[in-house]
Structure 1
């Protein structure tokens, strides 16, 4: 009974404690000025801005590659194997021993050659 119980806070309260307001930003700027000096601060701000820019670019690349992979998956699964085989045969594309992706590519190429798409 001599043990001290720690208070348990709901998750909303815990996350609210870590928000940064204008006062905290001003204190961080003052602290940065004290630690690095006014001459070094623009260089640090430039480096931080560059890091944020690179991070955003890389995030965009990852997002677009995931979207492309998702679209590619959608196109290969949107048509049934039977329908793809029939379409390939109508266009004169050999179907034996080829993967679904290869068939889709060849069907698209053949359709472009015949100016169907």
Structure 2
């Protein structure tokens, strides 16, 4: 029971979700702004942009995963120091005053924790 005079609470699980009414409102506004002739072109362009974004993000993830696997497998001589530092920063590992071997060990440990390898 809520006390009298207290503000209503919002369930955080519902914040950021788009329901059918919101989608309908977005479609109506888009029709008003762009008209029925331009809307299919915009939808096609938006779909293409989403496809390209997903493809590029998948490539980046695969590159990072490959680097982690290379580092953890012990053949780290083929990985540059620059790539090691970038990967360590992405995994939240500090690179200050650490040797190459220390970075490799920490990257492998963190990658195992996150289920990347």
TM-score scaled by structure 1? 0.54
| Equivalent residues in 2 for 1:95-110, closer than 5 Å | 101=77
Deviation digits for residues 25-77 of structure 1 (CA, Å, limit 9, x no counterpart): 11111110011000110111011001100110011001100110011001117
Alignment partners' CA distance in 2, 1:55 and 1:8: 39
Aligned pair partner of 1:58 in 47, 56, 59? 56
Unmatched 5+ residue regions in structure 2? 1-5, 79-117
Dislocated runs of 4+, deviation >6 Å: none
| Equivalent residues in 2 for 1:1-117, closer than 5 Å | 13-76=11-74, 101=77
Shift of 1:17: 3.0
Which one is further off, 48-57 or 16-25? 16-25
Deviation digits for residues 64-101 of structure 1 (CA, Å, limit 9, x no counterpart): 00110011001117xxxxxxxxxxxxxxxxxxxxxx62
Aligned to 1:92: none
Q: Per chain length, whose mean CA-contact separation is higher, i.e. which structure has more relative contact order (CA < 8 Å, sep 6+)?
A: 2
Alignment partners' CA distance in 2, 1:39 and 1:16: 34
Structure 2 CA distance for partners of 1:34 and 1:64, relative to 1, 3 Å:
same
Structure 2 CA distance for partners of 1:26 and 1:63, relative to 1, 3 Å:
same
- The structure with the largest alpha-carbon Rg is 1
Unmatched 5+ residue regions in structure 1? 1-5, 78-99, 103-117
RMSD: 2.4
Equivalenced residues, count: 73
